[in-house]
Amino acid sequence: MRILHYTLITVCSFLTALFVAWKLLLPINYGYSVFYQWLDINSHIQTFAPQNRQGKNGFEQTSAEDHHQLFADISKAINHSGEGLRELTYQADGQTRILLTDSEATHLEDVARLVDVMMPAGWVILGLWLLLVIAASVRKVPLPTLGNSVMTLIIVGLLLLVLVFAIGPHNIFRAFHELVFPPENQWFFYYQDSLMTTLMKAPDIFFAITVLWALIAVVCYLIQAAIMKVASPPPRYPAH
């Protein structure tokens, strides 16, 4: 039973850390302002926006502030069931233009539906983790130690790194999209056909965000491990 308990609370700890980290990414706009500089997204936009083949002209005239705001608007919409995606606009040549094509909006709505499923699940797992910690503390059941938590984190991290390098980040990205999203809906867009992809310099920015997400999740996991250390009952020593 103790092995089952350890396994359940460890899995809940990992998933809770990922959930909380995702929530923490939203107020900082998923690090877009930092990655905008690191990935030189403005130059990327200046190169590919004029080549747009979908009639979305003039996006290269927009400013860095516009790019930050549009990314924030997309992020907000994804976390609110896709609301407002099809109304996103930019200014060019003195005109207001719709940002997304129908295919782009449909894809982002698919992403929003995925988030709609994952967020309630995240709250449930967070609640379950808290219940497990409280129950263990009340019933004097030992929780995973801080050392065990760190060791588990290191082992899982190494396994994930091996997996990523063995399969390849782009292959994982493609496999994830093919598995999760409806096959009839487009999810791959060339820069010349998508201001959305140009604005994000996808998939590069997704890899950067994933790394940031993982780092924040590690911090959250270590905080949870510290909480479990405090909540864990003291070891019992045999009477002499």
Task: Give the model's pLDDT for residue 179.
Answer: 84
Q: Is residue 143 part of a domain?
A: yes
Q: Is residue 148 part of a domain?
A: yes
Contact in structure between 187 and 105 (CB atoms under 8 Å):
no
When divided into structural domains, the chain yields a total of 1
Q: Is 84 helix (H, G, I), strand (E, B) or coil?
A: coil
pLDDT digit string (tens) for 154-184?
887 788 888 878 888 778 878 888 888 888 9
Whole-structure pTM value: 0.86
Q: Is residue 236 part of a domain?
A: no
Give the contacts of 29 (CB within 8 A, at least 6 positions apart).
Answer: 68, 71, 72, 75
Residue 98 main-chain phi, psi, to 5 deg: -70, 135
DSSP assignment of 156-197: HHHHHHHHHHHH-HHHHHHHHHHHHS-TTS-----GGG-HHH
Q: Which residues of the chain have pLDDT under 50?
A: 237-240
Q: Is residue 121 part of a domain?
A: yes
Q: Is residue 94 part of a domain?
A: yes
Task: Give the model's pLDDT for residue 167.
Answer: 82
Q: Is residue 139 part of a domain?
A: yes
DSSP assignment of 100-131: --HHHHHHHHHHHHHHHHHHHHHHHHHHHHHH
Give the closest residue to 25 by CA, choosing from 176, 208, 155, 224: 208
pLDDT digit string (tens) for 211-227?
999 999 999 999 998 88
Q: Is residue 240 part of a domain?
A: no
List the structure tokens of 112: 């929003």
Give the closest residue to 34 by CA, choosing from 163, 157, 232, 215: 215
List the structure tokens of 103: 């295919």
Q: Is residue 239 part of a domain?
A: no
